[in-house]
A = this chain, B = another copy of it.
Amino acid sequence: MKFKPFELERWFVILKQLLDLTGNTFDHIDVMLGYGWSNGLPKLRELIAEEYEDLDANHIVVTNGAIEANFIISSTLLEPNSEVVTFFPTYAQLWQVGENLGARVKKLRLLMDNKYKPNIDQLADMINENTDLLILNFPSNPAGAVIERKDLEEICELAEHYNIPILSDEIYRGLEYKATDRAPAAADLYENAISVSGLSKVYGLPGLRIGWLACKNKELLDRIWSFRDFTSICNGVLNEKVAEIALKSRELLRERGRKIAVKNFEILKQWVDDHSDVISWVPPKAAVLTMLMYHFDMDSETFCRGLVEEKSVFTAPGSCFETEKQFRVGFGYDTERLKEGLKRLGEYIASLKER
């Protein structure tokens, strides 16, 4: 096989590059393709537990991507007329599973004007002994905002007061541009917080479909785990083997992901600076998604539809997040592709001015 240099610019990892980077070969040719462990390969659960301060392998359940973890949490804890409080906007699947089940979803807005800082007083007014689940997502999709340790601690204390379980989607945790912006995992702060994460974002390995649940409360974790008898039984055994390789070299892979994120953030920041007459934002502090606001009169669906039709550039309209004159951009791409997309976005905005 021809040697290929490790390409930093590539967002998703190639198996060969993972093996080269971590000094491994694919020596799992003898793996039996039988059923895997229903809660995940023990060695993999041990490695995942190292991501947390206070947890061990028994506090981890491996799932088919973080999305399955989110799904089985809501499916286990919610039913018609349950009450969910979610920070909003966020990854829609997080609260839509509950809504589909007939739960009432109350949204606590994170506002661009307030730099997406959670309003703890407002949260205190919204939750009570009838709240069945609180949903957090920091670093946040769609804004790339981080949460301060103090805010997260106060949220956990409030939840603990009413004994409300927390679903904390932390899929972008570890992808902060500065290490000092990293908050603790909710599961380390509160025993009924379930931290959800996986290898798809920070590690650039979505093709492995490896996610997980992490929770100190074993009884709560086991209840959620048992729902998996209906959805997937177990993970792919090859995926678990490759995930083990990845997590044994977690610092290398995290640093790779962080470098691409920072590099792409700088490119996007330059573009926003160059278009500050019509575009404003709260610069993200983590991850590879953010919201941009435009300063002209056009609804966000028309804006985004025109952009994809005329320039083949896909963004999500603010209307998806119940806001206007904004759109979400993803910048977790190969650098050249990102540059090309931003060039086209600039051309599109220039053409709008002329109309």
Binary flags per residue of A4-22, CB closer than 8 Å to B gives 1, else 0: 0000001111111011000
Distance between Cα atoms of A97 and B236 in the complex (Å): 22
Residues of B within 8 Å of A326, CB to CB, are none
Cross-chain contact B29 with A12 (CB below 8 angstroms): no
Cross-chain contact B238 with A34 (CB below 8 angstroms): no
Partner of A239, one of B31, B232, B234, B236: B236
Distance between Cα atoms of A299 and B33 in the complex (Å): 37
**Copies of this chain per assembly:** 2
Cross-chain contact A208 with B33 (CB below 8 angstroms): yes
Cross-chain contact A232 with B207 (CB below 8 angstroms): no
The answer to whether A209 has its CB under 8 Å from any CB of chain B is yes
Cross-chain contact A15 with B1 (CB below 8 angstroms): no
The answer to whether A233 has its CB under 8 Å from any CB of chain B is yes
Cross-chain contact A235 with B209 (CB below 8 angstroms): yes
Cross-chain contact A29 with B1 (CB below 8 angstroms): yes
The answer to whether A30 has its CB under 8 Å from any CB of chain B is yes
The answer to whether A229 has its CB under 8 Å from any CB of chain B is yes
Distance between Cα atoms of A243 and B31 in the complex (Å): 15
Partner of A65, one of B16, B97, B232: B232
Cross-chain contact B230 with A209 (CB below 8 angstroms): no
Distance between Cα atoms of A228 and B211 in the complex (Å): 16
The answer to whether A289 has its CB under 8 Å from any CB of chain B is no
Residues of B within 8 Å of A231, CB to CB, are 67-68, 71, 231
Given A15-B33, A33-B206, A35-B207, verify A236-B233 contact (CB < 8 Å).
no
Given A80-B80, A100-B230, A239-B238, verify A32-B13 contact (CB < 8 Å).
yes
Residues of B within 8 Å of A31, CB to CB, are 14-15, 207
Question: Known contacts A19-B29, A207-B237; can you find 5 more A-B pairs with CB under 8 A?
Answer: A11-B34, A14-B30, A14-B32, A68-B232, A71-B230
